[in-house]
């Protein structure tokens, strides 16, 4: 197995990003489908790593957890032989468009121009528009691996985590792509939502912590905030697009 791949389960792998996945890079995830095709979640692990993956696997789908460049900069590497590039509905309009992203994440004018002149160079980003979008009504079925999108706005308005119900894994693509495994299986999506209440967050073990850090309880609460329907209120300002949450 390549040194940059870490097995999570039989068909799931973590791809370690440059700089241990820290900004301006991120970790990615690789899913091997039942037909031996591959799905890539996020493309911020580094252009050289992505090119190695392209030679080794037939990657036919890319899914972006959100549209920050450190998670989507390398989409263009697969542009010529990809079936779909799928991004959150909330970010579809600006995704893969450097000009639109610079105006979205900064202020139009000199700051946006500085962003355009520097961020793409640092992250190896090129324009690459997505082909499809997803939302909370979507579900990804790759045979043995299934992903349920979980909308977690605040880091960005289009930030999503993914829940894998067979392995009980939650992919939280922020804070260096932490991956959590739940101790016991929820019977339904509704019970999964209930299990993510403020009182039950401790039911998650840290399945994989590539950077060796343990996120704070507040970060966990923040990531799963949309499920805290009655127990918690928070004003979140942890990314470029601050969102005020009131339960």
Confidence of residue 4 (pLDDT cuts 50, 70, 90): confident
At 45, give phi and psi (nearest 5°).
Answer: -80, -10
Q: Would you put residue 162 in left (φ > 0), alpha (ψ -120 to 50) or beta?
A: beta
Least confident of 7-11, 37-41, 80-84, 166-170: 166-170
Domain boundaries, the chain: 5-134, 148-245
Q: Which residue has the higher pLDDT, 20 or 195?
A: 20
H runs (alpha helix) in 27-167: 47-56, 69-72, 98-105, 110-123
Query: What is the Cα–Cα distance from 198 to 38, expressed in whole angstroms?
Result: 35
* 8 Å CB contact between 244 and 235: yes
Lowest mean pLDDT segment, chosen from 98-107, 151-160, 176-185, 206-215: 206-215
Which tens digit of pLDDT belongs to each residue from 135-151? 999 999 998 899 999 88
Report the residue count for the chain. 247
pLDDT in tens, 227-237: 333 232 222 32
Say if strands 234-236 and 243-245 run parallel, antiparallel, or are unpaired: antiparallel
Alpha carbon distance 53, 59 (integer Å): 8
Taking only the tens place, the pLDDT of each residue in 194-214 is: 444 433 333 444 444 444 444
From residue 21, alpha-carbon distances to 43, 119, 208 in Å are 11, 17, 13
Per CATH, the architecture of 5-134 is what? Answer: 4-Layer Sandwich (3.60)
Whether the per-residue pLDDT at 32 is higher than 80: the answer is yes
> Are the C-beta atoms of residues 108 and 99 closer than 8 Å to each other?
no
Q: Is the pLDDT of residue 176 over 80?
A: no
pLDDT band at residue 191 under the 50/70/90 scheme: very low
Omega before residue 170 within 30° of 0, cis: no
Residue 61: strand pairing partners:
39, 84
């Amino acid at each position: 197995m390549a040194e940059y791949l870490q097995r999570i389960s039989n068909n799931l792998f973590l791809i370690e990003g440059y700089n241990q996945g820290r900004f301006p890079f991120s970790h990615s995830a690789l899913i091997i489908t039942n037909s031996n095709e591959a799905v890539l979640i996020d493309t911020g692990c580094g252009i050289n790593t992505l090119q190695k993956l392209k030679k080794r696997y037939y990657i036919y789908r890319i899914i972006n957890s959100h549209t920050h460049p450190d998670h989507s900069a390398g989409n263009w590497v697969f542009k010529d032989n990809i079936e779909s590039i799928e991004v959150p509905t909330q970010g579809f309009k600006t995704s893969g468009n450097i000009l639109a992203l610079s105006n979205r994440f900064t202020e139009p004018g000199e700051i946006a121009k500085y962003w355009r002149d520097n961020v793409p160079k640092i992250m190896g980003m090129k324009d690459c528009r997505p082909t499809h979008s997803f939302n909370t009504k979507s579900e990804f079925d790759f045979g043995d691996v299934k992903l349920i999108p979980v909308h977690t706005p605040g880091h960005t308005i289009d930030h999503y985590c993914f829940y894998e119900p067979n392995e009980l894994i939650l992919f939280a693509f922020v804070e260096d792509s932490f991956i959590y495994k739940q101790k016991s299986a929820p019977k339904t999506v509704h019970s999964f939502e209930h299990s993510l209440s403020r009182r039950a967050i401790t039911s998650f073990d840290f399945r994989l912590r590539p950077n060796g850090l343990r996120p704070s309880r507040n970060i966990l609460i923040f990531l799963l905030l949309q499920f805290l329907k009655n127990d918690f209120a928070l004003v979140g300002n942890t990314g470029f697009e601050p969102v005020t949450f009131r339960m």
